[in-house]
Amino acid sequence: MGKIIVMTSGKGGVGKTTSSAAFATGLALRGFKTVVIDFDVGLRNLDLVMGCERRVVFDFINVINGEAKLNQALIKDKRIDNLYILPTSQTRDKDALTKEGVEKVLNELSKEFDYILCDSPAGIERGALMSLYFADHAIIVTNPEVSSVRDSDRILGVLNSKSRRAERGEEPVTQQLLLTRYDPERVERGEMLKVDDVLEILAIPLLGVIPESQAVLRASNVGMPVILDEHSNAGQAYIDAVGRFLGEDLEHRFVSVPKKGLFSRLLRRTA
């Protein structure tokens, strides 16, 4: 039975799709058969970030409505074995996501895959609710910024009350924080919430801190998950986060400003 992970945040634009693409790719790189599903009906973007936008024929909604077979809608990644993408519809609306339909597709996928990663849309409406309803694990994507932290807290409340596990009184959905767009220099200047501040407020375990990085835009420009840019800080931070998700104990990197070397300190003094 595959595990269902939801990548969610409440707020939009914090990096859910970027993180979904990176995380799914990271899990597949570790040898797990992984599928990443776009739940943002009408605003499809995972296909672009994954670089498979020109290969979409059938989608998630077609499968739910019985208009296509699951295998026809799944797109196999060209770079990595074990990685599949299930794009969503660009034309239908969120009402196309029925609980029964989503459950049927997830059940079918969980027979074949180790991990099913659901990329949630922003908000707490139908699309977001459907993406988290069946989840075993939730990764909460948050920016160190007031509105994002507040919305994350709200979505944690939704997970604790409206997920299937909550409704059935089963063991709760595990929740982990992925703090994205973190800028240690601004934190040092007192302009940005610290990792510890966000952890204190949200009170969930930390999965990873992804530093603000130009590599993220460069990667999405070319349709490549940023985790494949192994030289970038963001890519390495995602690799670490995947490791932690799989139970490895890894130190958090990129959370503080690197100490300046003797040479640059001398330069600064004379400047």
Partner 1 sequence: MSIFSFFRSAPRPSAVQAKERLQIVMAHERAGRTGPDYLPMLQQELLAVIAKYIDIDQNKVEVKLDRGGDCSTLELNIELPAREAAKALKEAAKAAVGKANGAAAHDDEVSDSVKMAAGGGALTNGGVKKRR
Binding site for partner 1 (CB under 8 A): 145-146, 149-150, 153-154, 157, 187, 189-194, 197, 200-201
Q: Which of 170/196 has CB closer to partner 1? A: 196
User: Least distance (Å) from partner 1 to the CB of residue 123?
Assistant: 17
**Closest distance between partner 1 and the C-beta of residue 146, in Å?**
5
Place of tokens 């807290």: 153
The smaller minimum CB distance to partner 1, of residues 67 and 200, is found at: 200
Nearer CB in complex with partner 1: 102/132: 132
Closest approach, Cβ 191 to partner 1, in A, equals 6
For 206-240, letters b (16+ CB in 10 Å) and e give bbbbbbbbebbeebbeeebbbbbbeebbbbbbbbb
Give the shortest CB-55-to-partner 1 separation in angstroms: 43
The two counts, helices (H) then strands (E), for the chain are 13, 8
Considering beta carbons, is residue 92 or 186 the nearer one to partner 1?
186
Report whether 105 contacts 134 (CB < 8 A): no
Helix axes 233-245, 16-29, angle to 10 degrees: 60
